Chain A
Amino acid sequence: MLSATKSPLLLNASGCLDALATPDIARSLDGFVTKTITPEPREGNPPVRIAETDAGMLNSIGLANPGRERFLAETLPRLRGLEQPIWVSVGGFTAAEYAETCAALDGCDGVAAVELNLSCPNVDEAPEGAAEIVAACRAVTSLPLYAKLSPVWDLAEVARAVEAAGADGLSLVNTMRGLALDPETLRPRLATGGGGYSGPALKPIALAAVYACAGAVELPIVGMGGVRSGLDVLELIAAGATTVALGTILFSDPGAGARVRSELASQVAERDITSLSDLHRAAHSSLQMAGSSSDNRR
């Protein structure tokens, strides 16, 4: 609906969808993002891997994936069968590892884009500088490259750096590291201690990240973090997102894709606009809507 760009409207957040286990969800979106692929297979972190908190959830899945070779040989052909644009989430621990996977994906049928997972909170090894990884991948693929960034960084600065390094877009934001304790034992509820914090608590942080980056770079932005409703999607678009990804909401509501679309259509109908694109970057407009600037009563 954002006709000014060719970006899809709705995706899933990487890590939140096993498209082969739930093809209906993948088909309810405009494309889907795979779980992160690393060069070598990863079993993931030991259980317990998830914990609900009052305003979100923690996960420490740990990039469980079959590794690049098996992904290319076995998973990708099956994903193609879903006949949806495939965004492959790529992970690694050095710029060379990211680049090797990007080179292997270059020219693969069905792969619409690569999302570079530069910020998984569940692996101990920190990736090298985001811009260095983007530059290494840019050199070996013509696929659109989206850099997925952590909300804990100085995002405007990182956004400019990855844009200069050749990124075609940004994915904002990854989860933040959080910790939950068992109320009786006062020990961490996850086996790894902390984990990635997602869900409604992340939404204002995602909005701030999208808003800051949309003010700093011209790149298309996939906005994500705590999206539950059509209005949440609209807010991210107003902050500067061109695409919005659903994450944690899919766990409780596998039909969220269709529901959110319907809510968005209602939002467009209720407002005096002809399409969603009319509200793209609306939050950056200097025009203030009457009564909206300091209304604390909502």
Chain B
Amino acid sequence: MRRERLRVTASEPVGPYTLLRVGRGALDAGLPGQFFMLEAPGRLLPRPMSLCLGTSSELAFLIDPIGPGTRALCSLGRGDELHVLGPLGNGFDLDVARPLLVGGGIGVAPLPYLSAALGTPPALLGFRSERHAEAAALVPNAEVCIEPTYVTELLPEEPNDVLACGPEAMLVALRALVPDAQLAWEAPMACGYGACHGCAVELGGELRRLCLEGPVLRRRARRELVAVSN
């Protein structure tokens, strides 16, 4: 668990979102689906963000300015500094034969890094508006739909290895259609490393910490991925 003070190299608008690029320092970029705790300037608690893009010199996070912390992150400019802790949690299992990436809204955030790791497999992305859909440009080989069409309507008859991130309703619908899907969930977190027990979610009938058990979960029990409850 490593925490460093990193410098912002760029802040780019992507539709209503902001792509925040920071120098990587000595942090490991981690696996796709893992997350980092980003210091939100002026706020008490850091914010969990999955890695959107990672290179040897840079980490990038796609951020939706929906509250005081994310707005503070989106207002950072080149040269500003912030503490970053990570990578944290369990990412996607990349040992998949026929990957299909599925993303909804700001849930596309981890998909560019995931797509690069898997050799740009096909992706299905859903957004609430054309403006939000500008984020689709970050994900290669993507088919895009806008509400009232949902990504679940674009799923092939027999989707094989679904790896998805998006709003809870989308994940719940996907779980029903593709029981073995790897799904990246979200919960409010204070620490991100297992201390606070704030991010409890129900897994297999028990409340468990999403930061340690997830954020990527799948129904089929594996040592590192806990079964999702019905």
Contact B198 A59 (CB under 8 A): yes
Which residues of B sit under 8 angstroms from A46, Cβ to Cβ? Answer: 200, 207
Establish whether residues A250 and B46, one from each chain, have CB atoms under 8 Å apart when the complex forms: no
- The answer on a CB contact under 8 Å between B195 and A17 is yes
Contacts A250-B191, A254-B191 known; A18 to B43 CB distance under 8 Å?
A: no
With beta carbons under 8 angstroms apart, the residue of B1, B43, B193, B194 that contacts A52 is B43
Decide: A251 near B190, CB < 8 A? Known: A44-B207, A47-B207, A52-B44.
Answer: yes
B197 touches which of A24, A64, A200 (Cβ 8 Å): A64
* Docked-complex contact B190 and A57, CB < 8 angstroms: yes
Chain B, interface SS category? loop
Are A21 and B200 within 8 A (Cβ)?
A: no
Given A16-B195, A57-B190, does the pair A49, B200 have CB atoms closer than 8 Å?
yes
Q: Does B29 contact A (CB under 8 A)?
A: no
Q: Does the CB pair A64–B3 fall under 8 Å? A: no
| Distance of A22 Cα from B2 Cα, bound (Å) | 12
Given the complex of chains A and B, what is the CA–CA distance between A48 and B188 in angstroms? 7
A252 sits at the interface (CB 8 A): yes
Q: How far is the CA of A52 from the CA of B188 in the complex (A)?
A: 9
Distance A242 CA – B195 CA, assembled complex (angstroms): 25
Contact A64 B69 (CB under 8 A): no
Count how many chain B residues have C-beta atoms less than 8 Å from C-beta atoms of the other chain. Answer: 29
Q: How far is the CB of B200 from chain A (nearest CB, A)?
A: 5
Q: How many Å from the CB of B213 to the closest CB on chain A?
A: 12
Check if B197 sits within 8 Å of A61, measured CB to CB: yes
Q: Does B85 contact A (CB under 8 A)?
A: yes
The reply on A56 being an interface residue by CB < 8 A is yes
A125 at the binding interface (Cβ < 8 Å): no
Q: Which of A248-293 contact B (CB under 8 A)?
A: 248, 250-255
Residue A199 is within 8 A (CB to CB) of chain B in the complex: yes
Residues of B within 8 A of A55 (CB): 44
A165 on the interface (CB 8 Å rule)?
no
Give Cα A46–Cα B198 distance, bound, in whole angstroms.
Answer: 10
Task: Check: B206 CB closer than 8 A to any chain A CB.
Answer: yes
Decide yes or no whether B31 CB sits under 8 A from chain A: no
Number of A interface residues in the complex (CB < 8 A): 34
Give the residues from 161 to 215 in chain B that come closer than 8 angstroms, CB to CB, to chain A: 187-191, 193-201, 206-207, 212
B45: interface (CB < 8 Å): yes
**For the complex, what is the distance from the CA of A200 to the CA of B44, rounded to whole Å?**
9
Instruction: Render B1-14 as a binary contact track against A, CB cut-off 8 A, 1 for contact.
Output: 10100000000000
Return chain A residues, CB-CB under 8 Å to B3.
253-255
Among B45, B187, B191, find the residue whose CB has the most chain A CB atoms closer than 10 A.
Answer: B191
B83 on interface, CB distance cutoff 8 Å: yes
- Nearest-CB distance from A216 to chain B (Å)? 32
Answer whether residue B39 sits at the interface, using C-beta atoms and an 8 A cutoff: yes
Find out whether the CB atom of A22 lies under 8 angstroms from the CB atom of B45.
no
Q: If A49-B197, A49-B198, A52-B69 touch, does A64 touch B190 (CB 8 Å cutoff)? A: no
Chain A residues within 8 Å of B83, by CB:
252-253
**Please, which residues of chain B bring their CB within 8 A of the CB of A59?**
190, 196, 198
A140 neighbours in B (Cβ, 8 Å): none
Nearest residue (CB) in A for B210 is A47
Name A17-48 residues within 8 Å CB distance of B: 17-18, 21-22, 24-25, 35, 43-44, 46-48
Q: Are B39 and A252 in contact (CB-based, < 8 A)?
A: yes
Within residues 48 to 66 of chain A, which ones have a CB less than 8 A from any CB in chain B? 48-57, 59, 61, 64
Give Cα distance in the complex from A132 to B75, angstroms.
54
Beta-carbon contact of B46 and A50 below 8 Å: no
Nearest-Cβ distance from residue B47 to partner chain A, whole angstroms? 9
Asked, given contacts A22-B193, A22-B194, whether A254 binds B200 with beta carbons under 8 Å apart, the answer is no
Residues of A within 8 A of B197 (CB): 18, 35, 44, 49, 61, 64
Q: Which residues from chain B contact A248 at a C-beta distance below 8 Å? A: 44, 190
Q: B204 to nearest A CB, angstroms?
A: 13
Write 20 A-B pairs (CB below 8 A) sorted by A numbering.
A17-B195, A21-B193, A21-B212, A22-B195, A35-B197, A43-B207, A44-B200, A47-B187, A47-B200, A49-B200, A52-B43, A52-B44, A54-B68, A55-B44, A56-B44, A64-B197, A248-B190, A251-B191, A252-B45, A253-B3
By a beta-carbon cutoff of 8 Å, the part of chain B in contact with chain A is 1, 3, 37, 39, 43-46, 68-69, 83, 85, 187-191, 193-201, 206-207, 212
5 closest Cβ pairs, A-B complex: A21-B194, A50-B198, A251-B191, A251-B190, A52-B45
Additional 16 contacts, C-beta under 8 A, given A44-B197, A47-B201, A52-B69: A18-B195, A18-B197, A21-B195, A25-B195, A48-B187, A49-B199, A50-B188, A50-B190, A57-B45, A61-B200, A248-B44, A248-B190, A251-B195, A252-B44, A253-B3, A254-B193
